[in-house]
Amino acid sequence: MQTFDLDAVRKRLEKQQYRFSGRNTAVKICTWTKKSLLDEDVCYKQKFYGIQSHRCCQMSPAVNFCQNSCIFCWRSFADTEGFQEIPKEIADDPEKIIDESIKKQRELLSGFGGNKEVNRDKLKEAQDPKHFAISLTGEPTLYPYLDKFIEKLHERGITTFVVTNGLRPEVLRKITPTQLYVSVDAPNEELYLKVDRPKVKNAWQIFNDTLEVVSEKRNEGVRTCLRITLIKGINDVFPEQYAELIKKANPLFVEVKAYMHVGDSVKRLKKENMPLHEEVKEFAEKISKFCDWKVVDEKKESRVVLLMKDEDLDKRFIEFE
């Protein structure tokens, strides 16, 4: 059995412009943050929800840990250290990784200072992130202090988006992020096992338990979202079954987004598996025929569409302090 080499993984990720702010925590400047600083474009999260792209810190406190080996994932599976909760003796301190993540974010942004095209006001604001997208790579619910981490961020007036594969519903019950994303990668168990390739037993049942938790969290006031990553020719089928999963979770938002042919996913999938925006929108509209969630917005550059219920449209944008 191959021994996990943390130093080698760190070096490999650092070459990809990741910066480690702890043993298992890393940040990376998003393409849309860069575009926003140059006044070229913004992330779909800004268009859909009001998040400021230039003030977003994209990070993960569980870079090397995940229970799945999803065929569409951009990461190398050789970089995965484990698929169970990170042992507390090697888990990073919540308060420290906030400070260190902001520090590393600033270091990554420093090169923009010499760019004449950069928006100086945005660059100044970017030094103090107002939003943490806890979604970079790895599975954040495997970080044992996720609840405290989110609480500390909120105490600083920083909003949080948590993206999860939905295999730890017991953790989701304990956290209150600004917005909770659950990835929905298949409409049924057969395709789920083929696409997500989970390492835990009864994963489909656990995932369905999470959908019930999503409904609970919404009742508690958490903004909830199901994100469907569409892989052309593989999981772009049975829209009526996706609709049943959506109805079960009753999320505030549903995003249907194209698989992107990048990173190590190119070794598992073909470029032809990446749907066009028009194909993503068409499938989203097929789903909407079987439920009350309708297409309300889109961002062609990101190949993503947003679905909501008419009655929830006034809840779309985040209220900032």
Domains of the chain: 1-159 (3.20.20.70), 165-311 (3.20.20.70)
Global pTM reads: 0.96
Q: What is the pLDDT along the chain (321 residues), one digit of tens a residue?
A: 457 899 999 999 999 999 999 999 999 999 999 999 999 999 999 999 999 999 999 999 999 999 999 999 999 998 899 999 999 999 999 999 999 999 999 999 999 999 999 999 999 999 999 999 999 999 999 999 999 999 999 999 999 999 999 999 999 999 999 999 999 999 999 999 999 999 999 999 999 999 999 999 999 999 999 999 999 999 999 999 999 999 999 999 999 999 999 999 999 999 999 999 999 999 999 999 999 999 999 999 999 999 999 999 999 999 875
Q: Are strands 253-258 and 19-20 parallel, antiparallel or unpaired?
A: unpaired
The pLDDT of residue 321 is 59
- From the list 179, 92, 181, the residue with the least C-alpha distance to 143 is 92
Beta bridge partners of 159: 131
The pLDDT of residue 1 is 43
3-class SS string, the chain: CCCCCHHHHHHHHHHCCCEECCCCCEECCCHHHHHHHCCCCCCHHHHHHCCCHHHEEEEECCCCECCCCCCCCCCCHHHCCECCCCCCCCCCCHHHHHHHHHHHHHHHHHHHHHCCCCCHHHHHHHCCCCEEEECCCCCHHHCCCHHHHHHHHHHCCCEEEEEECCCCHHHHCCCCCCEEEEEECCCCHHHHHHHCCCCCCCHHHHHHHHHHHHHHHHHCCCEEEEEEEECCCCCCCCHHHHHHHHHHHCCCEEEEEECCCCHHHHHCCCHHHCCCHHHHHHHHHHHHCCCCCEEEEEEHHHCEEEEECHHHHHHCCCCCC
User: What long-range pairs does 100-104 form, CB within 8 A, spacing at least 24?
Assistant: 100/21, 100/22, 100/25, 101/21, 101/25, 101/27, 101/57, 101/59, 101/132, 102/57, 102/128, 102/129, 103/21, 104/19, 104/20, 104/21, 104/26, 104/27
Beta bridge partners of 117: none
What would the two tokens of residue 15 be?
């070459």
What would the two tokens of residue 173 be?
């019950």
What would the two tokens of residue 275 be?
């749907």
The pLDDT of residue 319 is 83
